[in-house]
Amino acid sequence: MSTRKFPVPTFKNKDLISKSPLVDGEWLDPNNAKEYFEVTDPASNEIIAKMPEQTSANVEKAIDAAYRAFQTYRKTSPQERSKWLLNLYNLMIENKEDLAKLISWENGKSLEESRSEVQYAASYFQWFSQEATRVYGTTIQPSNPTSRVFTIRQPVGVCGIICPWNFPSAMITRKMAAALAVGCTVVIKPDSQTPLSALALGKLQEQAGFPKGVVNIILSHKNTPECGKTLCQSYRVKKVSFTGSTQVGKILMDQSSSTLKKLSFELGGNAPVIIFDDCDLDAAVNQTIASKFRGLGQTCVCSNRIYVHSSIIDKFADLLAEKVKKFVIGPGLEDGVTHGCIINGKAIEKIEYHANDAIKKGAKIVLKGGPLKDIGPNFYAPIILSHVPNNAVVSKEETFGPLCPIFKFDTLEEVVGYANDTELGLASYVFSKNVDTIYTVVEALEAGMVSCNTGIFSDAAIPFGGIKESGFGREGSLHGIEDYTVLKTITIGGLPPML
């Protein structure tokens, strides 16, 4: 076991640190809870905080608060909401370093990556501060000449927001920003492994000027299924947005059926990367690394299956391994660390299961990787395998970790078939200098997002979301507003004919 001392962050703005749920503008006394759950630093497994375990009754109170606040917040002007959102963006940037430290502390990613996440998370408040004043309707020419028809968009109502641990700030902001922009109120349920970042956002939105009850944050670990069910089955919650596994998404969808509420789900991914022999090889290697090893592979859009043309597969694998060896893996809060740790031991078990299965079936080991227990219990060096057979489990299942399996292909038709041979369809990547190849593959791939010649595409300005069992709905962009509004058609009849 490691005897290493792990860094503990210091914060300039200590008011950002909270251990209390936020309901109706009040920070509830955590000492009144009957049960608590522990939040740990995944780098050291040391306890960071003890949080009050809430129940469905607590969630109902948060929903009631959000519902009451909605009655007045929906009537605020787009300009007011725009101002509050921009205030929140500026506050996040002012507190960027503290927010990044919080993410690294509870999530384990490197401080460099956490800073990028804060910037990315804040950008949604900036983007939707502008979109708040651009919620447009349409005019329609009906067949009846004595009628006039137009449409308006109105806020859907109280929104339940359920988020994962891998982007504890950004997964909240890209839902919350769109909801607040159009006049919805929210009840946020962060992952129990990473609640501190959500609570810090709760502190900042108060300073930004949002009215009480507009933003509510509930906390739970053991009672999470019960709390999620309450959000889904409440008649007062008109929309639920969830990011997480496909399995849980199906449960939430079933629970929401009794109220027929609006849903938007960003679920599992199994992203293919297709690298043709005419690509810029150095760029393809660098961008594959950017995609595959962001967050040490713990992202929904990271490349999970690397398909490389047979004529360059060995060269690609060697170049990839050469660069991955230069990673500096360690506690995320330490200077110079490029990659942090895995979230927990269960995630490591899945990485090793996928790697061992591929090796047993004939995959070639290019970079051995494996546990780094001299650093800490959840540290893991990347594994690179090449000539992975198509019957390996990793070709069908998302690893969510630093296992990089490389498959070979010979023809465009063949590799498109491999890439689409999955029930998931979130992101995909293509590398080629030939525009005909790019466009043909882009149209053929069954994915909600296709990134060409780049491994990083996340941006508040683009629509983010998947198809098939990767979910539905879009976050960010001008389309991100749509899932938080309802379209109302207004007909005025009996008008005189046009003069």
CATH of residue 438's domain is 3.40.309.10
* pLDDT, tens digit (0-9, with 9 covering 90-100), for 79-103: 999 999 999 999 999 999 999 999 9
Which of 408, 445, 134 has its CA nearest to residue 270? 445
| Residue 433, both tokens | 């200098």
Say what the pLDDT of residue 498 is: 80
417: Cβ contacts below 8 Å, ≥ 6 apart: none
Please report whether residue 6 resides in a domain. no
Based on the fold, state whether residues 205 and 302 are members of the same structural domain: no
Based on the fold, state whether residues 362 and 456 are members of the same structural domain: yes
What's the CATH code of the domain at 76? 3.40.605.10
Say what the pLDDT of residue 379 is: 97
- Altogether, the residues listed in the chain come to a count of 499
Based on the fold, state whether residues 333 and 415 are members of the same structural domain: yes
Please report whether residue 491 resides in a domain. no
Q: How confident is the model at residue 209 (pLDDT cuts 50, 70, 90)?
A: very high
Q: Is 60 a catalytic residue?
A: no
Say what the pLDDT of residue 3 is: 65
Given a contact cutoff of 8 angstroms between Cβ atoms, the answer to whether 273 and 421 are in contact is: no
How far out from the chain centre does Cα 89 lie? Answer: 18
Please report whether residue 88 resides in a domain. yes
* pLDDT, tens digit (0-9, with 9 covering 90-100), for 28-43: 998 888 999 999 999 9
* pLDDT, tens digit (0-9, with 9 covering 90-100), for 431-478: 999 999 999 999 999 999 999 999 999 999 999 999 999 999 999 999
pLDDT over threshold 90, residue 205: yes
Based on the fold, state whether residues 482 and 419 are members of the same structural domain: no
* Edge-to-edge strands, sheet with 139-140: 139-140, 148-155, 485-492
| Residue 175, both tokens | 């839902």
pLDDT over threshold 70, residue 2: no
Based on the fold, state whether residues 476 and 332 are members of the same structural domain: no
Split into its structural domains, the chain has a count of: 2
Please report whether residue 385 resides in a domain. yes
Based on the fold, state whether residues 207 and 132 are members of the same structural domain: yes
* pLDDT, tens digit (0-9, with 9 covering 90-100), for 69-81: 999 999 999 999 9
Which of 298, 229, 234 has its CA nearest to residue 268? 298
Distance CA 402, CA 436 (A): 32
Say what the pLDDT of residue 4 is: 76
* pLDDT, tens digit (0-9, with 9 covering 90-100), for 391-436: 999 999 999 999 999 999 999 999 999 999 999 999 999 999 999 9
Q: What are phi and psi of 264, to 5 degrees?
A: -140, 125
Q: How confident is the model at residue 373 (pLDDT cuts 50, 70, 90)?
A: very high
Tell me the three state secondary structure of residue 29.
coil
Please report whether residue 4 resides in a domain. no
Please report whether residue 495 resides in a domain. no
Please identify which of the residues 53, 113, 131, 266 carries the catalytic annotation: 266
Based on the fold, state whether residues 226 and 325 are members of the same structural domain: no
Distance CA 110, CA 10 (A): 16
Based on the fold, state whether residues 416 and 347 are members of the same structural domain: yes
Based on the fold, state whether residues 175 and 282 are members of the same structural domain: no
Based on the fold, state whether residues 220 and 333 are members of the same structural domain: no
* pLDDT, tens digit (0-9, with 9 covering 90-100), for 261-270: 999 999 999 9
Based on the fold, state whether residues 66 and 210 are members of the same structural domain: yes
Q: Which domain holds residue 142?
A: 14-267+471-486
Based on the fold, state whether residues 380 and 413 are members of the same structural domain: yes
How far out from the chain centre does Cα 342 lie? Answer: 17
pLDDT average, residue stretch 186-209: 98
pLDDT average, residue stretch 166-179: 98
